[in-house]
Amino acid sequence: MSLSLRWMTSSAPWSLTTTTLIITTTRYGGVNDWDQSASKHLYTFLPSTAFCSALSLERAGEFQWARAGTLAAESFAARGAGPDTVHVTAETLSPALTANRQCLLWTVLAAKETTTSDYQWPADGEPVFRTYSASYLFDGTSIRRLDANARTMHAGGGSSHETVWNLPSDIPL
């Protein structure tokens, strides 16, 4: 699963008319895309420089950022098993969004590939690949789903019509 976060400044809550768009994450590939401390490729997301500046985040440890000495953001996948995302505490993000009249546009992407038990391609007409896409808007007080859908591609060609990806429409903080 991949997450992409966009910080938007708007003139009114839930307005999609943007005056400023800040890319909140950047992709990291390690030294030569290889983690020198372990025998694995290291790919993860990090908070962007602009995002760290907007939230007054400073580096606090390996793939961790703090605000006023309190851990506020981290990338779990860079340090061990965990989601390949940047996690930011609501306590850090909510006040900054509210104070600056900004919103966070959050995109969730996922995919699932189907193979048989012997790793062969499925028979014609059988599902092979399923993609999922959703977007949420966070204004500092609530998180609201804007859209969520899924599509299935079949062996031998063809795909299903876009269907609803059943996700919560509002996420409580």
pLDDT (0 to 100) of residue 76: 80
- Mean of the pLDDT values across residues 14-32? 67
The tens digit of pLDDT for each residue in 52-69 reads 988 899 999 888 999 999
pLDDT (0 to 100) of residue 36: 55
**Are 76 and 83 in contact, with CB atoms under 8 Å apart?**
yes
Counted domains in the chain:
1
Residue 65 belongs to domain spanning:
2-171
Question: For the whole model, what pTM was predicted?
Answer: 0.68
The tens digit of pLDDT for each residue in 151-172 reads 998 888 877 878 888 888 998 8
Residue 155 CB: number of other CB atoms within 10 A?
15
On the question of pLDDT at 73 being above 90, the answer is yes
